[in-house]
């Protein structure tokens, strides 16, 4: 026998899962940026990257070091907030009282 969930509970579950996914993305990105900046901040790692021809990657890592990853983190938080806001609007926007798709006659 299949379980029946009301539409409002399905919307709530989707919103909770999306929020959890976005928060895990933000936390993972922040942690990876901190660890990467710490590793690349060492001179020996930078020299090794330059020696192996990874100058583009080294330059990108330096940008993250200079920005202290707060700018990128802020942009990511803003994008996540916009995404969750649009999802909320899509799921919970005001629907008309009468369902016009049923075609009352």
Task: pLDDT band for 104, please (50, 70, 90 cuts).
Answer: very low
DSSP code string of 45-67: HHHHHHHTT-HHHHHHHHHHHHH
- Does residue 99 surpass a pLDDT of 60? no
- SS3 (DSSP) at 99: coil
| Residue partners of 26: CB distance under 8 A and separation at least 6 | 73, 76, 77, 80
21-68 pLDDT, tens digit per residue, is 999 988 888 777 777 767 666 667 667 777 777 777 767 777 766 666
- Does residue 105 surpass a pLDDT of 60? no
């Amino acid at each position: 026998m299949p379980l029946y969930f009301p539409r409002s509970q399905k919307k709530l579950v989707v919103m909770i899962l999306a929020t959890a996914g976005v928060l895990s993305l933000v936390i993972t990105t922040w942690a990876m940026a901190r660890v990467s900046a710490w590793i690349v901040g060492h001179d020996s790692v930078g020299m090794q990257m330059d020696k192996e021809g990874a100058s583009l990657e080294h330059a990108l890592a330096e940008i993250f070091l200079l920005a202290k990853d707060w700018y990128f983190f802020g942009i990511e938080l803003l994008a996540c907030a916009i995404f969750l806001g649009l999802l909320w609007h899509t799921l919970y926007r005001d629907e008309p009282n009468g369902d016009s798709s049923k075609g009352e006659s």
